[in-house]
Amino acid sequence: MKKRRNRSDSSAWMTLPLYIFTIVFVVCPLIYMVALSFATPSRGFGVTWKFTLDNYRNILEPVYLNTFAESLKLAFTSTIVIALIGYPFGYFMARLPEHRKKKAQLLLSTPFWVNSLIRLYGWIIILQKKGLLNFALMKLGIIEKPLSILYSYPAIVIGMIYVLLPFMIMSVYSSAEKLDWSYVEAARDLGASRLQAFFTITLKLTLPGLLSGVILTFVPSMGLFFIADILGGNKVVLVGSLIQDQMTRGSNWPFAAALAVVMMVLTTILIMIYRKVTNARELEGIG
């Protein structure tokens, strides 16, 4: 026992690079951001270190509150649609025979390896006025005039769904995979209808997966400004776009920092709610 203790102490140096790096380049910058959010902006990229709450007060202005509301709305819409599409998919996937499960997993993870911008560009080609979608719809006689979906709200939602759906599917799948189907069978044997068995047993037991999928889609969807940029044509301003704008063009860093702090707090609250509800320590489906 004593020997082991010595050994573990002598191995402690190995974590040193990790902690120096993480503390210097992750923890310190985060603390700096919080400090920055209470500083006074001055001309150019400069900052005056005078304590103020103005940056937070600024967020309460209708324009910016509206931006937050818009982002939350988009995040909620995307998350709900993604859950509705992704849940059945993950559920069906967990019920596939073993060899097909592997194939489905492979098919699901391959697009990750393609640059997300490239995949979004594919959607531009499909959704544009003279694009594939309009062509197909007109050929089928469903519409007479081409729809202008690109550079509109639905296009942004489509982009969000496209980029984030795999996360939802993977988390639902990983909890549905662990599900003991005999519970469902027992419920059925005891006279529950299919729907009853689903809502009382299956849904309840796969809830951790669904919830972690919700977080894994909701959190990034607040910040994926480039999707709104590319597919929405700058029509919808999100918190992410606002932060980027304030950092680069607007050059009001303290305000950008305050926006980021609020966003971080929102994110953290969500993750804490998730932990409370599911009692889980880590999110399902990552790693």
Partner 1 sequence: MKKNSRFAGFYMGLIFFLMYLPIAVVIVFSFNESKLPVKFTGFSLKWYQELIHDRAMLEALVNSLILGVLSCLVSAVIGTLGAVGLSRIHWKSKGALEYISILPLMIPEIILGMVLMAFFYMLNLPFGMLTLLIGHTVFCVPYILMEVKARLAGMDPALEEAARDLGAGPFRAFWDITLPLIMPAVISGSLLAFAMSMDDVVISIFVNGPRLSTLPIKVYTQLKTGVTPEINALCTILLAATLIIFIVYSLITKKKK
Q: What share of the chain is helix, strand, coil (3-state, %, to 5)?
A: 75, 0, 25
| Listed ranges 65-73, 126-134, 149-157, 205-213: which one lies at the site for partner 1 (CB under 8 A) | 126-134
Q: In this structure, what token pair is assigned to residue 275? A: 């932990």
Residue 243 binding partner 1, by CB under 8 A: yes
Interface size with partner 1, residues (CB under 8 A): 86
Alpha helices in 110-252 (DSSP H): 116-127, 132-139, 153-177, 181-189, 194-197, 203-221, 225-232, 239-248
Task: Name the segment binding partner 1 (CB under 8 A); options: 55-63, 65-73, 107-115, 139-147.
Answer: 107-115
Which of 84, 125, 186, 203 lies at the binding interface for partner 1 (CB under 8 A)? 125
Per the DSSP assignment, residues forming a β-bridge with 48 are: 40
Q: How many CA atoms lie within 13 A of 106 on its CB side?
A: 6
Closest distance of CB 22 from partner 1, Å: 5
Nearer to partner 1, 112 or 199 (CB): 112
Kindly state the smallest distance separating residue 85's Cβ from partner 1, in Å.
7
Contacts of 241 (CB under 8 A, 6+ apart): 225, 228, 229, 234
Is 36 a binding residue for partner 1 by CB under 8 A? The answer is yes
Among 74, 156, 230, 237, binds partner 1 (CB under 8 A): 230
Give the SS3 label for residue 40. strand
In the list 40, 58, 128, 278, the residue contacting partner 1 (rule: CB under 8 A) is 128
51 binds partner 1 (CB under 8 A): no
Indicate whether 247 belongs to the interface with partner 1 (CB under 8 A).
yes
Considering the rule CB under 8 A, would residue 130 count as an interface residue with partner 1?
Answer: yes
At 41, is the secondary structure helix, strand, or coil?
strand
**What is the Cα–Cα distance from 212 to 178, expressed in whole angstroms?**
15
Q: Give 40's strand partners.
A: 48
> Based on CB atoms, which residue is closest to partner 1, 13 or 51?
13
**Token digits of residue 281:** 């320590």
Note whether 273 binds partner 1 by CB under 8 A. Answer: no
Distant-in-sequence, close-in-space partners of 282: CB < 8 Å, separation ≥ 6: none
Q: 163 to 192, contacts with partner 1 by CB under 8 A? A: 165-166, 181, 184
The verdict on 240 binding partner 1 (CB under 8 A) reads yes
Token pair in block for residue 80: 């709900």
User: Pattern of binders to partner 1 over 69-98, x per CB under 8 A?
Assistant: ----------------x--xx--xx-xx--
Position 112 contacts partner 1 (CB under 8 A): yes
Contact between 49 and partner 1 by CB under 8 A: the answer reads no
Look up tokens 């999928």; give the residue.
213
- The residue from 271, 272, 273, 277 that contacts partner 1 (CB under 8 A) is 271
The amino acid present at 12, given as its one-letter code, is: A
Q: Which is nearer to partner 1, 208 or 232 (CB)?
A: 232
Q: Shortest Cβ distance from residue 235 to partner 1 (Å)?
A: 13
Closer residue to partner 1, CB minimum distance, 38 or 123: 123
Q: Are 256 and 43 in contact (CB under 8 A)?
A: no
CB of 253 to partner 1, least distance (A): 6
Phi, psi of 191 (to 5 degrees): 100, 10
